[in-house]
């Protein structure tokens, strides 16, 4: 018996010994053997975790550095169906779910039935979800909306005595456009999914978006990072910043002016484009209807997203006569003193006569008078008789019509030049911009700019430079000359002839655009629209195009309205006043002051006027503060200095700006002063520029003008919160108005944290 026990013990001992040896060998094989690296990698995956590091999308700035688009802090609202169910079970008298539904419905606008389905969301096994986001209404909301819901959350914590009440806010980023709808068709927008839609956001997406980074680290069984664990990090690469050619102030003047006309005449659309003819920098481009890229989902139909400047084609009418005039001057076919009989002209026996806008015409007049009257007959003689079909078409092609300009916007159309050279009437009507001539507004501006700049056709562009903040490198986009179309001497003559269209206050069709003290060259356009293959007797496209000053052109400007609702629709009467308002404001903004004669001054200023209501700000940068104040006082401006320096480093508003003399000019004397001036009464644009100058992080609440500001410092960082409200409200209502508007965001440093086809028949097209 003892022997048997010993034998069994020996066998069991041998078995366990072999098992132990096998285990040791296996451990050695796994940790040291040839397969050790493979096993170690598998093990590492069980205790390693990774997270994505979001990058920041690049900013878009105007030509002077004002922020037009930037990333801002946003929040996504989420609820825990599981936690809400627990709290409902603990105390049904709280009606916790009903409270959440009511509050979220009032703040976010989400239907109550949808909110109840979110709060009650379950898995397939019937258990409640741990968390569910409130989409789309609670997705990437502004801080002001988040704060309202956060106040509600605090109330629920007090009611329940619980820290976790099942409502959460996930911090995120979104694209923010501090000026709302300003330049919306140029900028485009980025939707909540992070996809770039329309405009330069889409064209420049690869440059703006950057790339995300990542971090990998070792964790313990609770998910916490191990203090001495391995960490691998790939840094995020932020997007590049893009400086545009547009001037935010000129863009504002344009949108303000076309909105007034849009509200008065209710056209299908109205478009305005301003450019520097010497470089073809687009200084402003606006189109109505429009949209707010911050709330793109509220746009009134797809027409709001259409950029008519590059995506609509029109028969231009008499503004196109500039092309025919330029060709005739270049070819030596235009004699301003030569006379002809106005009224009507026949180009073939089979077609009806082409008539001037005034039945019977003006009798025998000179070709220069014909230009001033916008006589169709004069341009039939110039284009059809003197130039001929082939020569006329060659100049139309040379001025860039029928082909895309190459501007950096998606969806640009090429227009169409479809008149037949062997059909006399088609050639004749093309000479004054109707029939087989269909163009885009940007083509019109590019062609007239060629006349203004000495005959050079240039490619229009919106991008001035692209900067990489990580490397400090900058890609600068230089002006591009396409071809020389006419000689500088011919261009000068054409400019002088077009000036008479505006300056002749008796017969000039563009006389309404006359601005005392400035030499303006311009041309009106009133084109009948083609409806169902025939020219309509009462539907028009009206326009005005011109440039100034004639002696040294700085701006070429085009205004076009599609079907203004008025029986007296005309390029001069409807588009002319818009052109005049934009042009005068823009010239003054650029520091080009009027050269007024004594007669002009007497006609411009009332006798009782003791001093100007507005004036242009002079440049005082580089002066001592005393010199600057004296110089500004000469122009009736008060000055406020910021900082303790002795010389003016920067000024706000910048030199050349036109503003009421009641508004002070701020003089920055240090690069990084520690305090901000009182900005009460400032527009959002000026306030943001002030924050940018002083390198302050600025958050904005509400819309309108600054009614309150609150400053704080975190180390060397200066932060300011601005409250805005519409003008004209009593002070006690302004704060409430600002809060109700919401819309808080922080930005940059302004900060880091906010054809119709050819007509089969055509009555007399109008000039």
Q: Check 80, 312, 318, 490 and give the catalytic one.
A: 318
Which are the contacts of 67, defined by CB distance < 8 A and separation ≥ 6? Answer: 59, 60, 61, 178, 688, 692, 747, 748, 750
Nearest to 335 by CA among 321, 322, 325: 325
Nearest to 616 by CA among 587, 650, 578, 595: 587
* CA–CA gap between residue 510 and residue 305 (Å, rounded): 32
Burial of 141 (0-12, 13-18, 19+ CB in 10 A): buried
Burial 383-417 (b: 16+ CB within 10 A, else e): bbebbebebbbebbebbbbbeebebbbeebbbbbb
Cβ atoms 762, 434 nearer than 8 A: yes
Q: What is the DSSP string of 81-119?
A: HHHHHHHHHH-GGG-HHHHHHHHHHHHH---HHHHHHHH
Please name every residue paired with 168 in a beta bridge, in sequence order, or none if there are none. 78
Nearest to 81 by CA among 109, 116, 112, 106: 116
* CA–CA gap between residue 427 and residue 424 (Å, rounded): 5
Cβ atoms 233, 213 nearer than 8 A: yes
Cβ atoms 748, 70 nearer than 8 A: yes
Q: Is 318 a catalytic residue?
A: yes
As given in the structure block, the two tokens for residue 517 are 């003290």
As given in the structure block, the two tokens for residue 25 are 């060998």
Tokens 């400053």, located at residue: 711
CA distances from 661 to 29, 298, 543, 653, 664 (A): 87, 38, 34, 12, 7
Phi, psi (5° rounding) for residue 530?
A: -90, 120
Cβ atoms 426, 758 nearer than 8 A: yes
Where in 395-533 does DSSP place strands (E)?
A: 416-417, 437-438, 456-458, 463-467, 474-476, 481-484, 521-531
In a 3-state reduction of DSSP, which class is residue 216?
Answer: strand
* CA–CA gap between residue 203 and residue 198 (Å, rounded): 8
Residues labelled as active-site residues: 318
């Amino acid at each position: 018996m003892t022997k048997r026990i010993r034998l069994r013990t020996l066998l069991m001992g041998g078995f366990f010994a072999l098992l132990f040896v096998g285990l040791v060998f296996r451990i050695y094989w796994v940790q040291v053997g040839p397969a050790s690296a493979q096993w170690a990698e598998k093990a590492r995956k069980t205790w390693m975790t990774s997270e994505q590091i979001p990058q920041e999308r690049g900013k878009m700035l105007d030509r002077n550095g004002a922020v037009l688009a930037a990333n801002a802090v946003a929040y996504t609202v989420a609820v825990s169906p599981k936690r809400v169910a627990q709290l409902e079970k603990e105390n049904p008298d709280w009606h916790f779910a009903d409270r959440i539904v009511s509050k979220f419905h009032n703040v976010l606008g989400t239907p109550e039935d949808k909110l109840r389905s979110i709060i009650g969301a379950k898995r397939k096994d019937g258990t409640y979800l741990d968390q569910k986001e409130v989409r789309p209404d609670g997705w990437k909301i502004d801080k002001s909306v988040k704060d309202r819901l956060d106040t509600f959350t605090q109330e629920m914590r007090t009611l329940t005595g619980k820290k976790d009440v099942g409502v959460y806010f996930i911090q995120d980023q979104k694209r923010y456009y501090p000026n709302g709808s300003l330049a919306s068709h140029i900028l485009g927008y980025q939707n909540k999914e992070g996809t770039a839609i329309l405009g330069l956001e889409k064209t420049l997406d690869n440059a703006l978006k950057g790339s995300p980074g990542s971090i990998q680290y070792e964790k313990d069984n609770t998910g916490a990072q191990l203090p001495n664990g391995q960490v691998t990090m790939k840094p995020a690469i932020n997007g590049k910043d893009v400086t545009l050619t547009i001037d935010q102030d000129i863009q504002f003047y344009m949108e303000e002016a076309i909105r007034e006309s849009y509200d008065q005449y209710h056209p299908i659309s109205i478009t305005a484009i301003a450019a520097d003819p010497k470089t073809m920098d687009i200084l402003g481009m606006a189109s109505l209807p429009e949209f707010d890229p911050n709330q793109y989902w509220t746009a009134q139909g797809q027409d709001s997203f259409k950029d008519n400047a590059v995506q609509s084609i029109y028969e231009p009418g008499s503004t196109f006569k500039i092309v025919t005039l330029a060709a005739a001057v270049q070819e030596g076919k235009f004699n301003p003193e030569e006379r002809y009989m106005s009224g009507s002209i026949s180009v073939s026996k089979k077609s009806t006569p082409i008539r001037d806008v005034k039945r019977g015409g003006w009798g025998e007049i000179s070709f220069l008078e014909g230009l001033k009257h916008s006589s169709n007959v004069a341009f039939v003689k110039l284009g059809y008789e003197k130039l001929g079909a082939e020569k006329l078409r060659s100049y139309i092609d040379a001025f860039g019509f029928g082909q895309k300009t190459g501007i950096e916007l998606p969806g640009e159309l090429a227009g169409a030049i479809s008149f037949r050279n062997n059909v006399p009437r088609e050639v004749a009507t093309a000479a004054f911009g109707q029939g087989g001539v269909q163009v885009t507004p940007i083509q019109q501006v590019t062609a007239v700019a060629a006349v203004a700049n000495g005959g050079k056709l240039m490619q229009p562009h919106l991008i001035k430079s692209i900067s990489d903040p990580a490397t400090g490198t900058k890609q600068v986009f230089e002006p591009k000359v396409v071809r020389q179309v006419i000689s500088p001497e011919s261009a000068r003559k054409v400019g002088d002839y077009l000036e008479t269209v505006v300056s002749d206050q008796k017969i000039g069709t563009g006389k309404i655009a006359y601005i005392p003290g400035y030499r303006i060259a311009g041309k009106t356009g009133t084109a009948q629209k083609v409806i169902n293959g025939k020219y309509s007797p009462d539907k028009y496209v009206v326009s005005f195009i011109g440039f100034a000053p004639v002696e040294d052109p700085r701006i070429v400007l085009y205004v076009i309205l599609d079907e203004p609702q008025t029986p007296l629709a005309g390029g001069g009467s409807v588009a002319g006043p818009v052109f005049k308002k934009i042009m005068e404001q823009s010239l003054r903004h650029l520091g080009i002051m009027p050269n007024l004669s004594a007669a002009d001054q007497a006609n411009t200023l009332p006798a009782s006027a003791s001093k100007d209501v507005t004036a242009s700000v002079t440049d005082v940068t580089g002066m001592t503060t005393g010199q600057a104040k004296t110089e500004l006082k000469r122009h009736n401006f008060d000055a406020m200095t910021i900082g303790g320096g002795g010389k003016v480093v920067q000024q706000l508003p910048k030199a050349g700006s036109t503003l009421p003399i009641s508004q002070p000019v701020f003089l920055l004397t240090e690069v990084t002063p520690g305090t901000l001036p009182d900005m009460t009464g400032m527009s959002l644009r000026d306030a943001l520029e002030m924050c940018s100058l002083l390198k302050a992080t600025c958050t904005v609440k509400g819309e309108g003008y600054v009614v309150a500001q609150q400053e704080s410092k975190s180390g060397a960082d200066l932060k300011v919160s601005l409250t805005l409200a519409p003008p004209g409200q009593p002070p006690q209502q302004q704060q409430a108005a600002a809060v109700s508007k919401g819309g808080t965001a922080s930005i940059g440093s302004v900060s880091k944290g906010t054809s119709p086809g050819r007509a089969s028949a055509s009555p007399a097209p109008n000039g």
